[in-house]
Chain A
Amino acid sequence: MDRRGFLGVAGAFGAAGLMSACAGPGSTSSGAGGFTTDDVATGEVSFAHWRGEDRKIFKELIADFTKVESEISVAQDISPSDDYEAQALRRMRNGSVGDVAPAFRGAQFESFVESGFFVDLEPTDLTSRYKAELITAGSADGVQYGYPYQIVFNDPIANLDILEKAGYPEPAGDWDSYLDMLDKIQSQGVTPIAMPGADAGNAGQLINPMIMNLGPTEDMCAKIESGEYKLTDDWFLEMLRKYGELGDYVQPNASGTAAEPAQQMFATGEAAILATGSYHMASVRSLGAEFPIDIAPPITSDPGQAVYLAAYNATFILGINSASEVQGAGIAWLEYLSRPEVAGAYADGTAQFSPVKGVEYENPDLDRVSSWLEKDILLAPRYQFTDLDMRAAVEDSCLQALTGTEPEKAAEDAQHIVDQRIDS
């Protein structure tokens, strides 16, 4: 072959590449239909998830499970959470991985349901093992597609020793009392609130308790996203004004503080409250915190007027891949995870809460804070946003208000982005 001939072959190869490039997304096959309880419980289950920190506890649970179910093996397929959020459906829709897989609550869960990725779990009879009010995040149109397997409180956590010295053995239950509590903490020379303003993911959690009693309806964030509510509405501006009031009680330069230094401030007693969530209890313990911890949601209402006392979230929702060829084995694994003793072991191993009925916590922090699960709590409104850019804009308006921007200006800037996203 001469050079010209080679170029000809290369050109043909390139043309083939061009044609295959233009084949488009429609060429990939979709999920393979429904699930039946008759599916045989054997085979190798690919358990895809993003929780690298849970690898050890899942490994232990898998070892116990496979002792009982010798015909089944379970292999963890762990991706970084960002990759999972962006690519999970593309990776798993053909069933080669992710026979059992979690979805983030909100946008990802909805896209999983919309694309037919998750099967209807009603035939499994597992739903009755979960507390009904804590698994609503796993249902759509009345169908239970997945089970939230880990519950967190998206509310600030507090050092109860410092609160007690300030005259509040329990966190304040209305707005004026909350500000009074922060004042008294500040007068002790302690920073009332450690705010990780440079970490949008963590700083954004505060909007959950701040908005839960101010929003006109429970689905306030979904309605902001749809354009029904505006950020320039009075109720939202009132929330931003309250953010501004909290600005007097956060550490200096809060907008530049990352999550780790904020945790350090809390763990060492330099700050009384960490404005993130219960998911940081274990990490502040590992940083040396020895004081009693509870959640301290800022209640924005007048005394006795609060409808909700805290916000919680389902960290992930476990479901079965409709394209899986080992659905029976996948269901067996899900059934095992739904046993109270197994869910309890997972909860203690990860220092997070469980929605499974009958779980008893050995971890004293979980045991103390779990009483909040029985109170009037709202599924974290923040995750009603399916558009991540809108969520970021709304949360940024809160941070702007906290750090001194006029509420009206912060709201208008964010609404401009929301409007553009709605129009696009």
Chain B
Amino acid sequence: MKDRRRRSSRRTPWAYFVFPLPAFVLYVVFFVIPTLQTVQYSITNWDGYSANYDLVGLDNFARAVTGDALFTNAFVNNMKFMMVVVVGQTVLALILSVLLVRNTKTTIFLRALYFFPTILSSVSVGFIWKFVYDPNFGVINGLLGRLGLSEAQSSFLGNDDQAIYWLSITQIWFHAGMMVVIFVAGLQAIPAELYESAEVDGASRWQQFWSITWPLIAPAMSIVVAYTTIQSFKAFDLVLSISGNPPSSSLDILSTRIYSSFANSEMGYAATESVLFIAAIVAITFALRRFLRLVQRGES
């Protein structure tokens, strides 16, 4: 009798299930179904508009991995871009957040200032930086010219060897402010007593950072690294706005390559590239988080 009453009291009312239903429907329609369709199309040669298609097995995957210089180029570009952005953005944001962790008028103003680029649209950022990097009218070459350093002037995005790194700098400028906010929140959650007792013990600022801040900032660090990694794979609109469509081969990354395949009426192959794209994001995010855990445990 008691058990029945307990089971009855644990029974969830019907109405409760109505609340998550809209989100669930949207998730299934706009995420689950398209994802499953992507996997389905990845083993076809569907052109995107014909009523029919053939199953091609794993041919598309073999082509992407072994026989497509454009996909390889985009993958390599994306790796370079990701590494520079993840390291650069994380280090810059961590340094800024350590400097701005206290709540004074100046630090709050500076945090807001650094956060400002984050609220701009990617397209606006792309256009702003397109003109910053312009070799003829751009700010950087103009400044170098005025300083008598004309030899250091560059074509920036027109230099195939450097273009992806200049793009990385734009991405870091764009998103570092957001990472500062996350780090500041993480830093402010560290109990002040730990630093006080460390000071009593005579620990230097660096020892305090390495022994207290670094291990305790781990949750924020994981979020920043995962977010930055995913962002660097999704820089689609930034690339198109800064480089035009199609982007130059030196700025082609995986997301823009998928779009090019899609525009080239290769829906099946674009789906294959998308599957590999998702697999790459998952694998790299997992590897980076694991690496970070090892570093923070001092095992590496």
State the A residues within 8 Å of B (CB): 1-3, 6, 10, 13-14, 17-18, 20-22, 24-26, 28, 30, 82, 85-86, 89-90, 93, 107, 111, 115, 197-201, 251-261, 264-265, 387-389, 392-393, 396, 403, 416-417, 420, 423-424
Contacts and interface: CB of A to CB of B under 8 A. Distances in A.
Interface stretch (B31-39, B92-100, B181-189, B273-281): B31-39
Give the secondary structure class of A's interface. helix
B49 A86 contact: no
B263 A388 contact: yes
> Which 6 A-B residue pairs are closest in the complex by CB-CB distance?
A256-B158, A255-B158, A256-B155, A253-B135, A253-B155, A21-B36
B11 interface: yes
A22 B158 CA distance: 44
Nearest to A196: B244
Interface string B157-180: 111000000000000000000000
A90 B40 contact: no
Interface stretch (B61-69, B109-117, B205-213, B292-300): B61-69
Given A115-B49, A261-B134, A256 B159 contact: yes
B263 A198 contact: no
A420 B137 CA distance: 39
A198 B46 contact: no
Given A17-B28, A89-B48, A93-B49, 12 more contacts: A6-B17, A85-B263, A111-B47, A197-B158, A201-B246, A255-B158, A257-B158, A258-B134, A261-B131, A403-B158, A417-B70, A424-B63
B249 interface: yes
B50 interface: yes
Contacts of A424: 63, 67-68, 269
Contact of A392 (B41, B141, B153, B246): B246
Contacts of B17: 1, 6
A340 B261 CA distance: 40
B154 A2 contact: no
Interface string B231-270: 0000000001001111111000000000110111101010
A294 to B, nearest CB: 24
B178 to A, nearest CB: 27
> Which among B17, B67, B154, B269 has the greatest number of chain A C-beta atoms within 10 A?
B17
A357 B153 CA distance: 51
A30 B157 CA distance: 44
Contact of A89 (B46, B49, B137, B240): B49
A385 to B, nearest CB: 11
B40 A198 contact: no
Contacts of B25: 13
A199 B244 contact: yes
Contact of B155 (A14, A25, A254): A254
A21 B34 CA distance: 7
A260 B17 CA distance: 55
Contacts of A199: 244
Given A200-B244, A253-B135, A13 B28 contact: yes
A13 B21 CA distance: 11
Contacts of A200: 243-244, 246-248
A111 B49 contact: yes
A22 B33 CA distance: 8
A24 to B, nearest CB: 7
Contacts of A28: 51
Contacts of A254: 155, 158
A198 B24 CA distance: 44
24 contacts: A14-B28, A18-B32, A18-B36, A21-B33, A24-B53, A25-B48, A28-B51, A82-B263, A86-B259, A86-B262, A86-B263, A89-B48, A111-B47, A111-B49, A198-B157, A199-B244, A200-B243, A253-B156, A256-B135, A258-B134, A260-B131, A388-B264, A389-B70, A420-B67
Contacts of B243: 198, 200
Contacts of B269: 424
Contacts of A17: 28-29, 32-33, 36
